[in-house]
Each structure stands twice: as C-alpha cells, then as structure tokens.
Amino acid sequence: MAPKLPPQPPLQHSTTAVADGQSHGHAAPPKGIFRWLLTTNHKEIGSLYLIFSLTMFFIGGIFALVVRAELFQPGLQLVEPEFFNQMTTMHGLIMVFGAVMPAFTGLANWMIPLQIGAPDMALPRLNNFSFWLLPVSFTLLLSTLLMPGGPNFGWTFYAPLSTNFAPPSTTFFILALHIAGISSILGAINIIATILNMRAPGMRLMDMPLFVWTWLITAFLLIAVMPVLAGVITMMLMDINFGTSFFDAAGGGDPVLFQHLFWFFGHPEVYIMILPAFGIVSAIIPTFARKPLFGYASMVYATAAIALLSFLVWAHHMFIVGLPLVAELFFMYSTMLIAVPTGVKVFNWVTTLFRGSISFESPMLFALAFVVLFTIGGFSGLMLAIAPADFQYHDTYFVVAHFHYVLVPGAIFAIMAGVYYWLPKWTGHYPNEKLAQWHFWFSIIGVNLTFFPMHFAGLAGMPRRIPDYALQFADFNLLSSIGAFFFGASQLLFVLGVILCVRGGKKAPAKAWEGAEDLEWTVPSPAPLHTFETPPVFHRTSH
C-alpha cells in the first residue's frame, strides 16, 4: 500500500495566481486613505516615496526660482536679503533631503525586491514608518518659514550663523532634520536586511544587478554618517538652548569643529546621492546597447572604493580655514584619488556602448547625458580639489556650478532615466516617447544654460549666497536665470508624461525593453501587488 501523502496546497501563492489582482492568503486591505497610511507593500511605499519626492522637487524648485528671479539683474529687485537667504537655505535642504534621497529610496523600494526575487522588503512595517516620518519632517521644516525668521544660514548651516546668530526657528529646523535622519537610517537598515537575506535561491552577491549593489553600499554609508549629522545638530541644539560652547570661540569652542563634523557627514552624503544613480545608469546602458555591461566586477569594486574614499576627503571643503599644510596635501591628494574609481565607471559605460546595437529611447538619452555632463562636473571637482587654486574658487559661483553639474544632470537625470525605464513595469504602459524626448532636449538646454555660465561668473570672482552682485556679472546671471525658468517649466512635460502613462498608452509586455535581462522583467507588466511569493529560479547571466 502506497504511503498516504499529505494534501498538497493549491499553487495560489505563485506570482501568476496573484497577477489577476486576487491576493489569496492576504487580509483584505483597508480602503481609502487608510490603505496608503497603513500599507506595508513595497510597491505602494515606493510609489509614496516617488510622489513625495516629486512634490518636494517642485517646492524646492520654486525656492530656486525665487533666487534666480532676484539675480536676474544686479541690485535688489524682488525680495529682502534676509528672505533671499532663507530661500537659498530651504532650496538646498529640500532638494538634498526631501527630493533626491527619497526619490532613490522610492526606486529602491520598488525595484530591489523585484531585482533580487524577494516577495517584499525584509521589514515591511518599518518601511511604512520610515516613509511617514518624511512628510512630518518636511512639514515641520517648511513651517519654519512662517515663524519669525526662517533658517537663513545656507544648507550647510555653519556655526556660528546657525547657533549664536541663528533665527529663533532653528530649534525646529534641528528637530525636522533629526526626523529625516531617523527615516534614512531605518530605510537603510531595511535595504541591507532585504538584500542580504532575501535574494532568490542561487543568486550570489556577485549576481545582483548593479542598482542593488550601489544601494547596498549606499545603505552602509547612510548608517555610518547619519549619526554624525545627528551629533552635530544636537551640539548646535545645546549651544543654542543649554549654554554649551561647542562652536563658540568665546567659550573655548571652535567653529572649525563644526565644519569638520558637518563635512565628515556631508561628503559621504553627496556620494549617497550619486551612487544609486550609477546603479540606474549601469542598468540602462547595457539594455539599450543590447550587450552585457563591460566590467561588472570592477563596477562593484569601484563603487565600494568610492564609498570608502568618501570618508577620507571631507576637509577639501575647508581648504581656507587654516588647516596645517600636511592636512591640505593629504586631503588634496585623497580627493584626486576618487577620480580613479569614478573614471573606471565612465570607462566601463563607454566600453559597454562600444560596438553595441544602440537604440536611443528616452531612458538611454538621459543615461548618456548623465555620463557626459556628470563627467564635466567631475572635472570641475578636480579643479576644486587643488588646494592653492581652491583659495580662489571657494565660495564662488564656480562651486555652485560644480555641485549642480553633478546633482542635476547627475542624480536628477538618473532618477528621470530610471522613471522612464521602469514606468512600463510599474504601469503596464510605455510612456509617450515623443513627449519624453521633448522633455529630454528641453532639460538638456535648460541645465546647461542655467549652470554653465556660473563657471565663468565664479572664476571671475562672484561670491555665492548673495542677493546683489557687481555689474560685470550681469550677463552670466541673466543667462542663468533664463535657463532656470526654462528648465523648471520643462519639468511640467515630465509630470504630464508620467500622468498620461499611468492613465493609459501603448501596452508593455513583461520584458518591456528588448535588451533588458534582469529579474524584474520576468514578472508581468504592470507588476502585480504581490510578486515572487514562490521564490523564482535564478539562472546565472553573463556576469
């Protein structure tokens, strides 16, 4: 007599069974606003991050346009100098902490489980909590503008401007930053736990897509440096409210201590904003060149090298504070050293393109623009690394030009490339290609018209963060302001394209792009709410 087998459960947890929207084995989701407040689904939380980020892009962008409107002509035109400084400060804080970082976190939430074959993030409720901290944080931050005296000390909030001479709202600004920092740390813990524990059977670390690798390394950076930010703003809080003198020379403190602590956080922070962009570009270029990425392993090692070196370069922001000569030399050469792994990446991207069968869809256009314009930003960064030259460049518009060349055509173009690349997977429709290409060309013109003239104004000695300037800088500023409004207006095409894509359009198959090889292209488009409930079988690909 054959042994009696236990009854086999029906295969209802597989991806296909759930593709029709019936989520068997899941409690009925709450309806209405509670569905979004209480969701633990990585796709819904990823969408929330992306929507939040887009909102903040427009708020931060409006603040930037106030700045550019004031600088349209020399002389005080539109706003008070005090309000001008509040605008520069809030623009920087919102773009860095409210727009770029949440956008990459949203892409991570959406795509990392799909790319490694995980059913969801490792810690779904923590995921929900870390998102909802952000609207609280930025509502609090924006509310400081309505208090008598908003933050007016620049996004780097140097002491003593942010302590002894700070507006009364600074304590609220510190609390807002603490909340955003907690959100980042929790998100990073979640990403590390997911990547290390939830990969599909058979997927080794060196089989992961590069977007997953860059985010793994970014998450370790976040956990390492966010507590430093928490420490330095807590010291500010003590100086303001509890009579300490960490940063007050009159009480035995030192404002330079603030700069050391801030930039020890701040420099890894700028790599936190660019490493995921490298991952997105490393996914898009092989897809549209229709050949495997050249030098996969060297890309992983280069990413890790950049992350490690980012801890050794912070004082290149401080060449003019009177560092000892040996320190200036150390930080000058360590900064130049970062160009090596970055150069490895650019070389690998270009070599991937070489003799590829390239098609120029919108994600590819943004990725190619990223490679070219990010490299320009890298070259101006090498100029700033030269300590004696930096005495001239420091705190001029040259630094503004450099920073925006690595962050706008760098981080933001990569985000847009990623959105156009993965929209078919999210919505089941291709974005309108004609509209996306218009958006691309307008953005390219706008970015270069805005930021290229700033190099010349800065080399000629125009200082940053001023509402008025000498007559000889008028033409450059006129061009920059026209470019800024043009760039801002062209982003409305992006929003229109995304909305049209969500509402309909050409249907996308599971594998939306011909050259796409990663695991996310094996699930249906649009991706069902629950994917990979049965772990997928992972077959090793070319790398």
- Which are the catalytic amino acids? 91, 120, 155, 183-184, 267, 269, 271, 282, 316-317, 342, 345, 464
Q: Which of 102, 114, 11, 54 is nearest to 529 (CA)?
A: 114
Q: What are phi and psi of 507, to 5 degrees?
A: -65, 140
Q: SS3 for 511?
A: coil
**Cα torsion for 450, 456, 460, 461, to the nearest 10°?**
40
DSSP 380-434: HHHHHHSHHHHHHHTTBHHHHHHHHHHIIIIIIHHHHHHHHHHHHHHHSB---HH
CA distance 59 to 53: 10
Q: Which residue has the tokens 């890309």?
A: 299
CA distance 355 to 296: 18
64 by Cβ neighbours in 10 Å (0-12 / 13-18 / 19+) ranks as: buried
CB 114, CB 519: distance < 8 Å? yes
Radius of gyration from C-alpha coordinates of the chain: 24
AA letter at 501: C
AA letter at 404: H
Q: Which of 237, 229, 209, 14 is nearest to 112 (CA)?
A: 209
Count of CB atoms situated within 10 Å of the CB of 304? 17
- Please state, in angstroms and as integers, the Cα–Cα distance from residue 201 to each residue in 118, 214, 283, 305, following that order: 10, 21, 22, 28
Six token digits for residue 53 = 């980020």
Listed in order, strand segments (DSSP E) in 297-387 are none
Q: What are phi and psi of 376, to 5 degrees?
A: -60, -45
20, HSE (Cβ side, Cα atoms, 13 Å): 4
- Please state, in angstroms and as integers, the Cα–Cα distance from residue 414 to each residue in 141, 185, 392, following that order: 27, 23, 31
Six token digits for residue 470 = 């000498």
Residues 6+ positions from 291 with CB-CB distance below 8 Å: 352, 355, 356, 357, 515
Six token digits for residue 199 = 């990969």
- Please state, in angstroms and as integers, the Cα–Cα distance from residue 91 to each residue in 14, 142, 251, 277, 279, following that order: 46, 11, 32, 21, 26
CA distance 61 to 132: 22
Let me know how long the chain is: 543
CA distance 415 to 443: 13
